[in-house]
Structure 1
Amino acid sequence: MKFLPSIALASILTATIATAQTTMCFKENHKDMSTIENTALHGGECKGFKSAKQMNNEGWKTDDIKITSTKNGNNYIYIFKKEEKGLSSVDQAALETKILQRLEQRKKEEIALKKQQIYVRKSKSGEKLYKNKCVSCHGEKGELKARNVSRPIKDLNLQDFAISIRDYNLGTYDRGMAFVMKPYALLMNDKDVKNVYIYLKSINQKKEEEKTK
């Protein structure tokens, strides 16, 4: 019998799939294995109040059980099948494929959310630095030519921005006002450069989106 792969319990909550003849129920962090058969299970046809024993009594056959250990006990996943007249049995492999597809989608959504959260944190850090050190010369959105000689920061890609800061620090870049910019450039590391770039990109992108509305 093929067992379902080990999966995070948070994903299980969104991946319960029930059909007319096959359903999946689960229980998290259960400490006593001897009582699990009489313990109410969540999800599927169990709905938080039916135990494995009750499901069996109602004609559901325990087709598969997956048990994973946690620091607080064990997590249990039950696959129940019920044969009904006039209906074909749901293929177990197809059911598992559906579950795994939903879990994979959930994983992608969680990764995208984490990336967005990181982006917001970097933008906030860049905002603080930009407003404290840069805004007076480069404008609210990096749109100004500082001292009428520099390129607007908002028009630079990340590589050009990073190279400019590096060259100010090395003393190899001067459009005539490098002595003004160098003290500020010396305060910025690669992380600061990227955060400021992300901040300016975010506010200018928002401005463009507002124009199109």
Structure 2
Amino acid sequence: MKKIIVAATLLTACVAFANPYAKCVSCHGANGEKAALGKSKIIKDMTKAEFVSALKGYQDGSYGGAMKGLMKGQVTGLSDADIQAMADQIAK
């Protein structure tokens, strides 16, 4: 049983690294359809340019309201390629 749990944990981690949006799903929804914690914009309605600008703004501290601190921690490790991949997957 312990081996199954370890394997499942490793598989989940691999999927999260392969898809940078995976860690966002719990708050923003599988398709970006939720207002995270009832406060954020619905990201599926954002243009790709707005989405990229928002995430880069969270990274450098120039964007965001109440969730600015929380989001900075979520996006700090994302590369430009990760951000663009997420925009292509979720935004218009």
**SS in structure 1 at match of 2:19:** helix
Largest Rg, 1 or 2: 1
Deviations 1:103-153 (A, max 9, x none): xxxxxxxxxxxxxxxxxxxxxx9972212x110110011001112121111
**Structure 2 residue 57 is matched with structure 1 residue 192:** no
Q: Point out 4+ residue stretches in structure 1 off by more than 6 angstroms.
A: none
Q: Which runs of 5+ in 2 are unaligned?
A: 1-15
- Of 52, 77, 83, 1:162 maps to 52
Aligned pairs, number: 77
**Structure 2 residue 1 is matched with structure 1 residue 128:** no
**SS in structure 2 at match of 1:136:** helix
AA aligned opposite 2:81: K
- Of 26, 42, 46, 1:152 maps to 42
Residues 1-213 of structure 1: matches in 2 within 5 Å? 128-131=19-22, 133-200=23-90
Relative to its length, the structure with more strand (as a share) is 1
Deviations 1:30-81 (A, max 9, x none): xxxxxxxxxxxxxxxxxxxxxxxxxxxxxxxxxxxxxxxxxxxxxxxxxxxx
Q: Distance in 1 between matches of 2:18 and 2:47?
A: 17
Relative to its length, the structure with more helix (as a share) is 2
**SS in structure 1 at match of 2:30:** coil
Q: Distance in 2 between matches of 1:143 and 1:126?
A: 22
AA aligned opposite 1:155: D
AA aligned opposite 1:134: C
| TM-score normalised to structure 1 length | 0.33
Deviations 1:148-171 (A, max 9, x none): 121111111111111101111111
8 Å CA contact 2:33–2:43 kept in 1: the answer is yes
| TM-score normalised to structure 2 length | 0.71
Q: Distance in 1 between matches of 2:18 and 2:70?
A: 21
Q: Distance in 1 between matches of 2:85 and 2:17?
A: 4
CA displacement at 1:174 relative to structure 2: 2.2
Give the direction of change, closer, same or farther, for the CA distance of 1:127–1:198 in structure 2 (3 Å limit): farther
Q: Which runs of 5+ in 1 are unaligned?
A: 1-124, 205-213
